[in-house]
Amino acid sequence: MAAKAKCDAVLMIGFGGPTRANEVRPFLDNVLRGRPIPRERYEEVVHHYDLLGGRSPYNDLTMRQAAALRTHLQTKNVHSPVAVGMRNWTPYISTSLRALADSGARRVLAFIMAAHRSEASFERYQATVNDALAELGEAAPEVVYPESWHDDPLFVSAVALRAVKAFGRLDRPERARARLVFTAHSIPLAMAQAGPYVEQLTQSARMVAADLGIDTWQFAYQSRSGNPREAWLEPDIEETLRRLDAKTAVVVPIGFLCDHVEVLYDLDIEAAQVARDAGIRMERAPTVGDHPLFIEMMASIVAAHSR
């Protein structure tokens, strides 16, 4: 729901990730929460982390976004504390909410770090927040959420400028022939049909492509997991690359806000190998991360809820 009253604190909410090798398996166990998964798939994911140094950069990158937000809020004369809470690893949402409550926060703007909304990217995080509030009881602050920002011009411009960086690695003739491919996390088809996820992704991609002055583009999904017999959003990025009607692809992971493992492994290692095997040059755009325009967007939303 949209917040109307003044907020006196901000909680950036993310997925979380292991920060060292000995945290990888406990982290995965936490993410799975008892759901059955074939052992070979479990070990395969552990290997992904091994290839990337035995850790995820997710927490570090989210903390960097939070630090940039704090700095930018100062320029807007907004002095609300900015905390970070993770759903699947430390610092947990419950711990961060308790710390905000103990410091006197009474109305918290919860900024879920996902631009496009589905049960997996939004509602599950809200449920975790609700559980944390229930634990706090009468000491719990009110928690409100900003309206959707997938079509915010600052977010769109930040993504577009990241894409420009990838196009800039191509010479002019190759740039003109390159195919623009957006990606996002695949989710079960039934989940997608129950929410605005695909519609919001399509709108964001259309706006970024327009910002880039590109008429022809494609959308693909990545990082599928779960029951192979269940229908998930397609086409997959690997199949898209194999069937690409061009020899160069600029891949823009518009559905992700930082370069964490699902970007670094699924795109930079797995999809990149598929592209090489298909004789395609693939250039991957960075995610928005702490791009100044994205931080400006976040700061503007916080400021609007703090006055």
State pLDDT tens for residues 48-73. 999 999 999 999 999 999 999 999 99
Q: At residue 136, does pLDDT exceed 60?
A: yes
Question: Residue 91 to residues 13, 52, 66: CA-CA distances in angstroms?
Answer: 10, 22, 13
> In angstroms, rounded to a whole number, what is the distance separating the alpha carbons of residues 87 and 17?
9
Q: At residue 179, does pLDDT exceed 60?
A: yes
- Which pLDDT score is estimated for 259? 97
DSSP letters, 30-91, are: HHHTT----HHHHHHHHHHHHHTTSS-SHHHHHHHHHHHHHHHHHHTT----EEEEESSSSS
Tell me which residue of 293, 207, 295 sits closest to 252, measured CA to CA: 207
Q: At residue 244, does pLDDT exceed 50?
A: yes
Q: At residue 15, does pLDDT exceed 60?
A: yes
Strands (DSSP E) along 103-216, which ranges? 107-112, 142-144, 179-185
- Which pLDDT score is estimated for 227? 77
Q: At residue 229, does pLDDT exceed 90?
A: no
- Which pLDDT score is estimated for 2? 46
Contact 255, 217 (CB under 8 A): no
DSSP assigned state of 25? H
Tell me which residue of 190, 201, 195, 15 sits closest to 118, measured CA to CA: 195
> In angstroms, rounded to a whole number, what is the distance separating the alpha carbons of residues 265 and 237?
13
Tell me which residue of 113, 284, 86, 262 sits closest to 184, measured CA to CA: 262
Question: Residue 216 to residues 136, 175, 257: CA-CA distances in angstroms?
Answer: 51, 13, 24
Q: At residue 3, does pLDDT exceed 60?
A: no
Strands (DSSP E) along the chain, which ranges? 9-14, 82-86, 107-112, 142-144, 179-185, 217-222, 248-252, 281-284
- Which pLDDT score is estimated for 1? 40
Contact 50, 23 (CB under 8 A): no
What percentage of the chain reaches a pLDDT higher than 90? 93
- Which pLDDT score is estimated for 238? 98
Strands (DSSP E) along 152-247, which ranges? 179-185, 217-222
**Banded model confidence at residue 33, pLDDT cuts 50, 70, 90:** confident
**Banded model confidence at residue 4, pLDDT cuts 50, 70, 90:** low
- Which pLDDT score is estimated for 24? 98
Query: Mean pLDDT for the chain?
Result: 96
Q: At residue 100, does pLDDT exceed 70?
A: yes
- Which pLDDT score is estimated for 36? 78
What percentage of the chain reaches a pLDDT higher than 70? 99
Average pLDDT over residues 73-80: 96
Q: At residue 9, does pLDDT exceed 50?
A: yes
The Cβ of residue 29 has, within 10 Å, a number of other Cβ atoms equal to 11
Tokens of 131: 């559980």
> In angstroms, rounded to a whole number, what is the distance separating the alpha carbons of residues 305 and 123?
21
Average pLDDT over residues 161-190: 97
**Banded model confidence at residue 225, pLDDT cuts 50, 70, 90:** confident
- Which pLDDT score is estimated for 307? 76
> In angstroms, rounded to a whole number, what is the distance separating the alpha carbons of residues 33 and 36?
9
Give the HSE-up count for residue 161: Cα atoms under 13 Å, Cβ half-sphere.
13
